Amino acid sequence: MNKAQLDKQVDKLFKFIGIASTLFGLIVLVALVFDVFTDGFKRLNWDFLVSFPSRKPEKAGILSAWVGTIWVMLTTAVLAIPLGIASGIHLEEYAKRNRLTDFIEINIANLAGVPSVIYGILGLGLFVRWLNLDRSVLAGGLTLALLILPTVILSTREALRAVPFSIREAAFALGATKWQVVSQQVLPAALGNILTGIILAMSRAIGETAPLITIGALTYIPFLPESPVSFSNQFPFLQVSSKGFLDAFTVLPIQIFNWVSRPQKGFASCAAAGIIVLLAITLFMNGLAIYLRQKHQKRW
Ramachandran angles phi, psi of 51, nearest 5°: -105, 150
Q: Is residue 90 within the footprint of other proteins (CB under 8 A)?
A: yes
Range 181-210, binding other proteins (CB under 8 A): 184-185, 188-189, 200, 203-204, 206-210
- What is the b/e burial string over 89-99, where b = at least 16 CB atoms within 10 angstroms of the residue's CB? bbbbbeeeeee
* Binding track over 220-249 against other proteins, x by CB under 8 A: ------------------------------
Q: Taking CB under 8 A as the rule, does residue 118 contact other proteins?
A: yes
Site residues for other proteins, 247-276, by CB under 8 A, read 253, 256-257, 260-261, 268, 271-272, 275
**Which of 54, 107, 227, 264 touches other proteins by CB under 8 A?**
107
Instruction: Name the minimum Å distance from CB 63 to other proteins.
Output: 19
- Residues touching other proteins, count (CB under 8 A): 109
CB of 252 to other proteins, least distance (A): 9
Which is nearer to other proteins, 151 or 244 (by Cβ)? 151
Q: How far is CA 252 from CA 42, 139, 202, 275, in A?
A: 19, 17, 14, 8
Q: Please select the residue that binds other proteins; options are 96, 99, 231, 236, rule is CB under 8 A.
A: 96
Report how far residue 142's alpha carbon sits from residue 125's, in angstroms, rounded to the nearest whole number. 12
Pick between residue 62 and residue 244 the one whose CB is nearest to other proteins: 62
Footprint of other proteins on 40-79 (CB under 8 A): none
Contacts of 87 (CB under 8 A, 6+ apart): 108, 149, 153, 156
Contact string (CB under 8 A) for other proteins, positions 17-46, x = contact? xxx-xx-xxx-xx-xx--xx--x-------
> Applying CB under 8 A, which of residues 62, 72, 91, 202 lies at the interface with other proteins?
91
